[in-house]
């Protein structure tokens, strides 16, 4: 008997513990609603801090492992997202550009509808020459599209300039703020006439000269094309607004500083006045 115990001690202890545990489990399973015994309570209380600490450590380790795992895929994901973001940005820019172009064209269309007497044609600016001595642009319409020398170029804001050189598919436009761009102009309200030319002292500004000393012209007055002179430009197109009126150095005439109505820095689409019934 003793020799049997000695030989199978390990197995016997293991089996007993297993039976006790099964018994305990089945007892607990049958009494789920029963309160825990004082012993259980005591053990649980004693173990709780350790369990909490252990759980915290395990949690941290789990988080760390997950982070490491995540980091491995994060770079690839980040790359994907960056590419996606770049594509979306590009798309958004294209949409914004399209929206702006739409707005510009709508404004030009509105101008065309409001001025049925003018035979207008849309043109795009494809090249810009801007420096102190030169203010001109090239448009994508030429003689094949009915453009001629001295065709007036405008936007919904006002007068831009006139065509001075025509090619089959393109044309060069001299802006009104260029040295070669003087035009006959008049004050819209009082019909006082003068010559409008680039101001040699103020880049981007115009000056109206040859005004009589008693001419009725004041700051804020709108200046429009006079429709006279050799250039044969249409009459009544807004060119700019008077900023200041001063006498000439000899005191015999007046001179007006005029701010152009058109913003030449953001010029992209223009209208060509192919013919005008008013003129």
Partner 1 sequence: MLRRHLFFCLLLLLLLVLQTTLVPRMGNFWGQIDLILVLTVAYALLAGPSRGAVFGMTAGFLRAIASGPTLGLYAVVLYVIGYSVGQFSQLMYRKSMLVPWVVGLVSTACYWLLMTVMVGGLYGFWIGTGYWLGLPVSVLLNSVLVALMYALLYKHQQQEVARGRG
Instruction: Count the site residues for partner 1 by CB under 8 A.
Output: 24
| x-or-dash string of contact with partner 1, 137-156, rule CB under 8 A | xx------------------
According to the binding rule CB under 8 A, does residue 199 interact with partner 1? yes
Residue with structure tokens 């044309």?
Answer: 171
- What are the phi and psi torsion angles at 222 (to 5°)? -85, 140
According to the binding rule CB under 8 A, does residue 201 interact with partner 1? yes
Under 8 Å CB-to-CB from 73, ≥6 apart: which residues?
none
**Shortest distance in whole angstroms from residue 255 CB to partner 1:** 14
According to the binding rule CB under 8 A, does residue 127 interact with partner 1? yes
In the range 217-276, which residues lie near partner 1 by CB under 8 A?
265
- 222: three-class secondary structure by DSSP: strand
Q: Please choose, out of 62-70, 113-121, 127-135, 186-194, the segment that lies near partner 1 by the rule CB under 8 A.
A: 127-135
According to the binding rule CB under 8 A, does residue 210 interact with partner 1? no
Taking the least distance from each CB to partner 1, the nearer of 139 and 224 is: 139
According to the binding rule CB under 8 A, does residue 129 interact with partner 1? yes
For every residue of 90-158, DSSP letters joined together read: HHHHHHHHHHHHHHHHHHHHHHHHH-TTEEEEEEEEEEEEEETTEEEEEES--GGGT--TT-EEE-SS-
According to the binding rule CB under 8 A, does residue 96 interact with partner 1? no
Residue 177 in tokens: 């703020």
Q: Please check whether residue 165 is in contact with residue 178, taking contact to mean a CB–CB distance below 8 angstroms.
A: no
Q: Please choose, out of 52-60, 90-98, 155-163, 193-201, the segment that lies near partner 1 by the rule CB under 8 A.
A: 193-201
Longest dimension (CA), the chain: 144
Q: Which of 38, 49, 116, 132 binds partner 1 (CB under 8 A)?
A: 132
**Shortest distance in whole angstroms from residue 137 CB to partner 1:** 7
Taking the least distance from each CB to partner 1, the nearer of 119 and 140 is: 140
According to the binding rule CB under 8 A, does residue 43 interact with partner 1? no
**Shortest distance in whole angstroms from residue 57 CB to partner 1:** 60
According to the binding rule CB under 8 A, does residue 50 interact with partner 1? no
Alpha carbons 160 and 156: distance in angstroms, whole number: 10
Taking the least distance from each CB to partner 1, the nearer of 122 and 125 is: 125
According to the binding rule CB under 8 A, does residue 207 interact with partner 1? no
Alpha carbons 94 and 275: distance in angstroms, whole number: 35
Cα of 113 vs its chain's centroid, Å: 28
According to the binding rule CB under 8 A, does residue 134 interact with partner 1? yes
Alpha carbons 166 and 151: distance in angstroms, whole number: 10
**Shortest distance in whole angstroms from residue 203 CB to partner 1:** 5
Question: Is residue 104 classed exposed, middle or buried when 0-12, 13-18 and 19+ CB atoms within 10 A define those classes?
Answer: middle
According to the binding rule CB under 8 A, does residue 179 interact with partner 1? yes
Q: Angle at Cα 48 formed by Cα 47 and Cα 51, nearest 5°?
A: 85
Write out the residues near partner 1 by the rule CB under 8 A: 126-134, 136-138, 172, 178-180, 198-203, 205, 265
């Amino acid at each position: 008997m003793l020799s049997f115990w000695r030989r199978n001690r390990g197995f016997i202890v293991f089996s007993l513990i297993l039976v006790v545990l099964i018994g305990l489990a089945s007892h607990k399973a049958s009494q789920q609603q029963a309160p825990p015994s004082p012993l259980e309570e005591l053990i649980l209380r004693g173990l709780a801090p350790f369990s909490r600490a252990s759980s915290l450590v395990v949690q941290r380790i789990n988080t760390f492992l997950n982070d490491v795992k995540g980091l491995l895929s994060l770079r690839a994901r980040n790359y994907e997202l960056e590419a996606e973001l770049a594509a979306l940005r590009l798309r958004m820019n294209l949409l914004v550009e399209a929206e702006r172009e739409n707005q510009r064209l709508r404004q030009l269309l509105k101008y065309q509808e409001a001025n049925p007497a003018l035979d207008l044609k849309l043109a795009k600016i494809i090249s810009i020459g801007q420096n102190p001595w030169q203010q001109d642009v090239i448009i994508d319409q030429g003689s094949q599209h009915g453009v001629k020398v001295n065709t007036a170029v405008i936007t919904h804001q006002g007068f831009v300039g006139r065509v001075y050189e025509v090619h089959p598919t393109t044309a060069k436009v001299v802006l009104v703020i260029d040295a070669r761009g003087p035009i006959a102009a008049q004050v819209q309200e009082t019909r006082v006439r003068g010559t409008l030319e680039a101001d040699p002292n103020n880049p981007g500004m115009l000056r109206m000269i040859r005004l009589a000393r008693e001419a009725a012209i004041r700051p804020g007055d709108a200046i429009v094309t006079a429709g006279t002179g050799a250039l044969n430009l249409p009459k009544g197109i807004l060119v700019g607004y008077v900023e200041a009126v001063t006498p000439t150095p000899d005191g015999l005439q007046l001179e007006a500083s005029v701010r152009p109505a058109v913003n030449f820095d953001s010029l992209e689409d223009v209208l060509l006045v192919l013919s005008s019934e008013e003129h």
